[in-house]
Structure 1
Amino acid sequence: MQNILFFGNSLTAGYGLGNAAAQSFPALIGDKINALGLHYQIINAGLSGDTTTGGLSRLDHWLNKPIAVFVLELGINDIRKGTPPGLIAQNLQEIVNRVKNKYPEAKLVLLGMEVPLFLGGQVAIAFNAIYPKLAKDNQMAFVPFLLSGVAGVKHLNLWDRLHPSAEG
């Protein structure tokens, strides 16, 4: 059985869900994979509140098991904390480099995030440009905006309006 490692923050961890082990998006993807009869083990390395710097510090622990697919979802907490987009991009690239160096045959997937332009002007523009460039430069499968169709839709989010509900 091969491993799919989901590496991210609260969105990956399933923050606020009644049963994150069953309702997080990695778990739901795992259910679909199992239904197709594919032989993959889902590893959820989501950590609420994590940043790209935090991700770098904990990455090696998660790379101890062979990885067939690496799914990266980090960066939104960095921008919320005022981390410059250049540093976010640098940290994400270093995460990708470490995975590629350890598992050169692994498939890489990037789950992008976006910040509305009215929240940050030039910072938002620079942040939103990180993910498409990173995906292209590293030939990664790419989901441009993980929360597409969910962000801003009240009934699909928890009370904090930042995290998806089970339905979202």
Structure 2
Amino acid sequence: MLAVAFPAAAQAAKAPPAAQPARTVLVMGDSLSAGYGLAASQGWVSLTADRIAKTKPGWRVVNASISGETTAGGAARIDGELKRNKPAVVVIELGANDGLRGLPLAQSRANLDRMITASKKSGAKVLLIGMRMPPNLGREYTQGFSDNYSALAKQHGVALLPFLLEPIATDRTAFQDDNLHPVASAQPKLRDHVWTQLAPLLR
């Protein structure tokens, strides 16, 4: 019996180690991350996935963004997405639709807080991507909207990109006819902007 067992043991010892599963970046966003009005390959998230595939072996991107998504929708979906994808990094880009609808700031903050808390509890690092609202909503609301992101990032100790559209915000030609969604040619600028905060998390 021993003579039969030894070769099997030797063979097992020579077996190559199992490949490590890819670590996942999960993006939870709205139409700005879902690539509204663009081909699937043109949005900043797809461009980021391409960069990661080339420069960060062992990583992949899952884009769970939905056009029209609010923070409430993200908060309702986060547990399922965490369970399904088991991400190492969660990118949260939500809030713009809350702001455009004038939803209560405290409600938006609570939803984002829930998403960040759940993500951290799962063991993931978090990148919070902020937005800004047009001045016609009033100074108090627009300032409070922006402050939500910085306050949450400080509270939870997570990475923050204060304003996704900062590189293109003043360039009307960078936006589609609705003046809300960036055109394809602007997406590389958004990718590079997000990368400044995302890259340090991919370690």
TM-score higher than 0.5:
yes
Unaligned 5+ segments in structure 1 are none
Matched, 1:13 2:31: no
8 Å CA contact retained: 1:69, 1:108: yes
RMSD of aligned residue pairs (Cα, Å): 1.3
> Residues of 1 paired with 2:23 and 2:139: CA distance?
42
Q: Counterpart amino acid of 1:125? A: Q
Identical positions, percent: 38
Correspondence for 2:159: 141
Among 51, 58, 64, which residue is 1:45 paired with? Answer: 64
- The 10-residue stretch of structure 1 (31-40 or 134-143) with the greater mean CA deviation from structure 2: 31-40
Higher normalized helix content (fraction of residues): 2
> Residues of 2 paired with 1:164 and 1:35: CA distance?
25
- The 10-residue stretch of structure 1 (119-128 or 31-40) with the greater mean CA deviation from structure 2: 31-40
> Residues of 2 paired with 1:145 and 1:71: CA distance?
13
Deviation track 1:17-71 (CA, whole Å, cap 9, x = no partner) reads: 1x12x11111111111122142211100110001011111222221122111100
Q: Counterpart amino acid of 1:126? A: G
- Normalising by structure 2, we get a TM-score of 0.77
8 Å CA contact retained: 1:12, 1:24: yes
Correspondence for 1:82: 102
2:37 partner SS: coil
Larger Rg: 2
Unaligned 5+ segments in structure 2 are 1-21, 187-203
In the TM superposition, 1:30-69 aligns within 5 A as 30-63=49-82, 64-69=84-89
Correspondence for 2:113: 93
Correspondence for 1:71: 91
- Normalising by structure 1, we get a TM-score of 0.92
In the TM superposition, structure 1's runs of 4+ consecutive aligned residues that sit over 4 Å from their partners are none
> Residues of 1 paired with 2:127 and 2:56: CA distance?
21
Q: CA deviation at 1:118?
A: 4.5
Correspondence for 1:150: 168
